[in-house]
């Protein structure tokens, strides 16, 4: 999972192309001038971040690693 999958289509945050200061500046200006959009992203982003917390992700990783190990052992 990468930033695009985590943030969705501007649902949980804003993505800008790497090394594009103008795009970053434009995205920041948009959010600075639109309080409701800023608040909506802040709220949605916090909820989305909880989905990727260590307490939720580590058990999934452990399960995946155990499946790989068991498959390699022939279990």
pTM passes above 0.95: no
C-alpha span between 1 and 3 (Å, rounded): 7
Chain centre to alpha carbon of residue 7: 4
36-63 residues labelled b (16+ CB within 10 A) or e (exposed) = eeeeebeebbeebeeeeeeeeeeeeeee
The string of pLDDT tens digits covering residues 1-32 is: 688 888 887 888 889 999 999 999 999 999 99
DSSP conformation letters of 5-41: HHHTTTTSS----TT-HHHHHHHHHHHHH-HHHHHHH
């Amino acid at each position: 999972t990468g930033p695009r999958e985590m943030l969705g289509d501007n649902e949980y945050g804003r993505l800008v192309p790497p090394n594009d200061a103008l795009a970053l500046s434009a995205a920041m200006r948009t959010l600075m001038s639109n309080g409701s959009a800023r608040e909506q992203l802040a709220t949605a982003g916090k909820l989305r971040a909880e989905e990727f917390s260590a307490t939720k992700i580590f058990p999934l990783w452990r399960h995946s690693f155990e499946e790989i190990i068991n498959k390699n052992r022939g279990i």
